[in-house]
Amino acid sequence: MDQKDIENLRQEYEAASLNETDVDANPMRQFDKWFNEAINCKVHEPNAMTLATATHDGRPSARIVLLKGFSDDGFKFYTNYLSRKGKEISKNPLGSLVFFWGDMERQIRVEGTIEKLDKNYSEKYFHSRPKASQIGAAASPQSQEIDSREALEQKMAELELEYADSEVPKPSYWGGYVLRPRYIEFWQGRRSRLHDRIVYKKTDNKNWKIVRLAP
């Protein structure tokens, strides 16, 4: 594609607006409202979110993971604790999430501290997944260099045989995390780049302050 064509790619946003007076005092209830609206608008994979982590000395990395639950505690997702993200979180628990729901002209940014979920909680979720996904999680040393796709498929086939008639045990290195937010920003696209940005900042252990940022 021509560079000029890329420069000229832009969208005028006019679907909705967001006001300090409209939003819920609690950001997780506001997230719930927007999440339900995303589902009703049939946004493709509304629970796909970019998760950014960083090494202990601040080198960032980002990838998509799936949101698998949220509550006043925070945002939950599942992964391999020995993956790149898992290793980074173990040394530096600060993380951030971004949701982009383009059809709704919305973005949500979240920042906070990431903690492992209770093992029993992860266990329960692991066994609720389709058996093939459970075996896939056990077969894949996520983020490690591997010899070939064939080696991975071979491992999968071995485990399918091994657990043909029994439950797949949850690998000790697989489980959930919760990102406990201290900052949540709701972004609504508006005309002429004058977008709405409403931010919740945690002021102490339970109270949130709501402010508006310039777009």
Ligand X SMILES: Cc1cc2nc3c(=O)[nH]c(=O)nc-3n(C[C@H](O)[C@H](O)[C@H](O)COP(=O)(O)O)c2cc1C
194 annotated to a ligand binding site: yes
Cα-based distances in Å from 41 to 35, 65, 100, 102: 10, 21, 14, 11
Strand ranges, E, within 119-195:
174-188
Q: Which is nearer to ligand X, 66 or 151 (CB)?
A: 66
- In the set 32, 33, 84, 155, which binds ligand X (CB under 6 A)? 84
Under rule CB under 6 A, residue 83 binds ligand X: yes
Is residue 142 part of an annotated ligand binding site? yes
What is the chain's length?
215
**Span 110-169, contacts to ligand X by CB under 6 A:** 142-143
SS (H, E, C) 93-129: CEEEEEEEEHHHCEEEEEEEEEEECCHHHHHHHHHHC
Q: Exposed/middle/buried for 57, CB within 10 Å: 0-12, 13-18, 19+?
A: exposed
- The verdict on 61 binding ligand X (CB under 6 A) reads yes
Among 48, 54, 159, 210, binds ligand X (CB under 6 A): 48
Q: Give me the least distance between CB of 32 and ligand X, in Å please.
A: 20
Task: Indicate whether 34 belongs to the interface with ligand X (CB under 6 A).
Answer: no
Region binding ligand X by CB under 6 A among candidate stretches 60-68, 156-164, 182-190, 204-212: 60-68
* CA 206 – CA 116 distance, rounded (Å): 21
Residue ranges binding ligand X (CB under 6 A): 45, 48, 61, 63-66, 77-80, 83-85, 142-143
